Structure 1
């Protein structure tokens, strides 16, 4: 397993470098080390484009692409290597230990429920906690690092995403929000922002989700994902062409990579009723990193069962030990973090997942998965160009 880096080679460190370039240096997290010569401090506009799911291993298999040409180094994601935790780290400049978002499904004690964090609603059903005001907004609130930038700031997201409770809560107080539909419109929005008149420096956060979505549906090496990658690659080159003469640095990276699974590599909790009986809550976190909340008095039985029945395909670790070993990042610590990582963490082997099923949920159907600690999930590229 690859523990993510928070010491100079991870997404948190990339954001520390950006913070330093815009007059908001971090007192807790170091900048990239070594730091590529990107000219961030001098550029009039810096665009950070997050390509959800673009792992460094995948990019290495596309050597003729524009994105591979402009790759400058590898970074690590965070733990767990999943969108909710990693995007929140990119937005806040803090690791999961600091922002308290620890997976797609989290037990949120304040709500008394297992919650899907990004949709911000109960795990089962289509409701949203956002109807609880103002408390729900306070729970979601994570101040973005760019609120402290000495720059005009912009957030560019798909139109369906730009006004969700999560997006509103983490956009910040000053950023202008822009919605788009499709890669062509994303490119047009970014070029328009970079070409707007004005003397103030600009920072732009842009997000593209479709590579991750298609990887979940069809698998990392599917034709659908290959076609999507080609479309992103063409959009990258056209964006560079459109930014000529604007004094812009454009950075590309991802929140995580992915790895494929299969039905025969899926551990269903329903096939392990003894294990299920030891749990006080449904599995939380991710199918590749599942938090277990144990019923009192079951810890020894839990360890024995996992060692004897799951040991060849699933490691198990105390949550406190992973925390102490730095998997969730260094201090300072979010006050609710320890309630959100359970007692133990199940870590399936590469290509394996573990999943439970609640009333009202369908059968697990993802092909591409993430959240674990394999290099395919953890390693993401840093891509950079100055047109």
Structure 2
């Protein structure tokens, strides 16, 4: 099992460098070995562009020769699982899933007795929003936003359809929310914020569309290549517009991608003997499912999974992967064990395993992430000083 390098080579360590470079205190997670805080402290403005889904492998292959690739500083590990819910929360809090406790798109929250899609902050199935029941992110997660840990002005640049969500608001703290609409406006708003006054600033700038296109069309698609080309051109223009402003541009991502095929997309509904061992639906990610198994069926579950799905996955005990440090360093979130389950299925090659509940439409995505392959775990760090 591939465990991210939380001791100095992960996105959580990049955030530690940013925190300390922007006047915050050191924490459990050391600075990034290849980009210490001193380089950040020297800049008047620090901009972190998170291009959702832009993996290291894509940048160095399909993106070879681009401006972004030419200014590649190094590769980083994401967190486990390498997926938006876990990784973006790390960018916004400065801690790994070990502490923030968000372990995937579908998370079993024992406190509310439901499987929840954390970023939409809604229950799976009926999609009922938790806040409509008086439940807040602060009650469930107790996060300290990164913006509250810095000694400079903080700004969060988000697409207008996401920026005012319950989850985004909970991660804002004392930061100022800036909304944009479309790619041109994304880069224009970065320039606008940087040029506001002469005070020191940190700007977190999130772009989700690369991820959406990779899911829908795959890594080899013309749609994704066009998107990357547009991002590269926008980044080039941004550098020109910010020239002489003492601005440090950092570009990274939350995860990489793999492409799946019809043959590699497995549905647990097609394995009824395995399905009847479960006490709640599969959680986590299609590339790293968490299994909550009835206590009387655990030996049978392991035997059935090994026999019927051994070609597609490796089965691990949940307590073991936590103890081995899959989710981070140090003391764990008090609910981490309950949010992982008795068994973790590490998918091989490009296999995915999903579950369809009654009332859910049939769907599939070509591009997938959340597994522990190098392609999914490795993300780039592009550095440019303007």
Give the TM-score of the pair, scaled to structure 1.
0.97
The DSSP-based 3-state class of the residue aligned with 1:12 is helix
Segments ≥4 residues shifted beyond 3 Å: 134-137
CA separation of 1:38 and 1:54: change in aligned 2, threshold 3 A:
farther
The DSSP-based 3-state class of the residue aligned with 2:263 is helix
The DSSP-based 3-state class of the residue aligned with 1:303 is helix
Structure 2: unaligned runs, 5 residues or longer: none
Asked if residue 332 in structure 1 is aligned to residue 328 in structure 2, the reply is no
CA separation of 1:93 and 1:129: change in aligned 2, threshold 3 A:
same
Aligned residues: 385
The DSSP-based 3-state class of the residue aligned with 1:191 is helix
Trace 1:195-234 onto structure 2 (pairs within 5 A): 195-198=195-198, 200-234=199-233
Asked if residue 131 in structure 1 is aligned to residue 150 in structure 2, the reply is no
Give the TM-score of the pair, scaled to structure 2.
0.97
Trace 1:106-117 onto structure 2 (pairs within 5 A): 106-117=107-118
Distance of 1:260 and 1:121 partners within structure 2: 28
Q: How far is the alpha carbon of 1:135 from its aligned partner? A: 4.0
Asked if residue 237 in structure 1 is aligned to residue 236 in structure 2, the reply is yes
Deviations 1:184-243 (A, max 9, x none): 111111111111123x31100010000000011111111111111111111111111111
Distance of 1:140 and 1:329 partners within structure 2: 16
Higher mean Cα deviation, 301-310 or 62-71? 301-310
- State the partner residue of 1:35: 35
Higher mean Cα deviation, 123-132 or 358-367? 123-132
- State the partner residue of 1:187: 187
Distance of 2:375 and 2:84 partners within structure 1: 15
Trace 1:296-311 onto structure 2 (pairs within 5 A): 296-311=295-310
- State the partner residue of 1:284: 283
Trace 1:41-52 onto structure 2 (pairs within 5 A): 41-52=41-52
- State the partner residue of 1:269: 268
Structure 1: unaligned runs, 5 residues or longer: none
Deviations 1:223-273 (A, max 9, x none): 111111111111111111111121100100000001011121112111110
Trace 1:317-328 onto structure 2 (pairs within 5 A): 317-328=316-327
Deviations 1:59-96 (A, max 9, x none): 01121101101110000011111000010011111010
- State the partner residue of 2:67: 66
Distance of 2:57 and 2:36 partners within structure 1: 20
- State the partner residue of 1:344: 343
Distance of 2:75 and 2:315 partners within structure 1: 28
